[in-house]
Amino acid sequence: MTAPRPFGLLAELTYRCPLACAYCSNPVEMDRYAEELSTADWQRVFTEAADLGVLQCHLSGGEPLLRRDLPDLVRTANDLGMYTNLVTSAMGLNRRRAEELRAAGLDHVQVSVQADEPATADRIAGIPSFDRKLEACRLVRELGWPLTVNVVLHRQNIDRVGAILELVEDLHADRVELANTQYYGWAWRNRTALLPSREQLDRAEEIVVAARERLAGRMEVVHVLPDYYSRYPKPCMGGWAQRQLTVAPNGDALPCPAAQTLPLPRASVRDAGLGEIWTSAPLFTAFRGTDWMQDPCRSCERRELDHGGCRCQAFQLTGDAAATDPVCHLSPEHHLVDAAVADANSAAPVDLELVPRGRLRRP
């Protein structure tokens, strides 16, 4: 089949990060990513991405501010006509750094916040960071950037969603993303301590719906529910290798950020051009379209809607990347998700031990 043209690139510039968030979806074996792409490598990747049709460049990590060349990379993406979005913990976003990025043409800033008050936020982040994050958010607004605040929700903070929304409103954010944890990487290790109960989810949903109505026209409120509680799986990435691609710090090119877990040949921008990888690399073609599907996906009328669900989640739970995502109630392996949900609804909602994310040494 003819490969579509992607419109979004997630450039994971580094997996180094000052935080130790237990819900992080970055890979657990981070030493594989210590040899990061050079400035020139990333500039070539951006050029090839623009040639493919990419319009949005999301600069992420880890913590992308740890890359000293970040302003140069922003300038390159901006010169290529791509909309640039910095996805950051905001640790290190001081005035000097912010003004450099503003001068380079950065279009948008997305700041992660872990909770609405210092003690809980700092415990989840693994270090004292709450006050510095709020200072950075105010700086972003002062410099005229659009501001998105991202809050990853889980059983350790979801009961505070009302207060979290009040905090984000006080920060005058343009957009808030309340995204329930996706269970990959470190979050997979901590699933028992992170997956909320049905009661917690229902209370949070009621609060979010009311806030969305109240804030209409002033702040966009995005609420991403945990797919473990869904009847059908999420349409992962809008379809495998259809709209988005990721490049990891070491140069691995991926159809989604978690695809490095799949038992397929690696594709690296160190070895091939991004256009060639997108069009013909086995990692990108394996699950593009619907021909690869097994039943019940193959005969399901929803196969063009949810694309069989998440390939990485299917592999993680079943060992078969082509299996129906077990989130789907039609999956023969749906009992695996039911068991996790049952555990979440039988355990205490807080005070479960979290394993903090490991830190990758500076190369």
- Which CB contacts under 8 angstroms, 24+ apart, belong to 264-271? 264/321, 269/37, 269/41, 269/44, 269/45, 269/48, 270/37, 270/41
Residue 169 in contact with residue 122, Cβ under 8 Å? Answer: no
| 175 Cβ neighbours under 8 A, 6+ residues apart | 146, 147, 148, 149, 219, 220, 221, 222
d(Cα 85, Cα 37) in Å, to the nearest integer? 19
Dihedral class, residue 251 (left if φ above 0, else alpha if ψ from -120 to 50, else beta)? left
Per-residue tokens: 13: 């510039």
On the 0-12 / 13-18 / 19+ scale of CB atoms within 10 A, 29 is: exposed
Which amino acid makes up residue 288? R
- CA dist list (Å): 152 to 26, 93, 98, 102, 187: 14, 20, 24, 27, 11
Binding-site residues sit at: 17, 21, 24
Residue 311 in contact with residue 262, Cβ under 8 Å? Answer: yes
Residue 71 in contact with residue 99, Cβ under 8 Å? Answer: no
Binding-site residues for [4Fe-4S] cluster sit at: 17, 21, 24
| 52 Cβ neighbours under 8 A, 6+ residues apart | 5, 6, 274, 275, 278
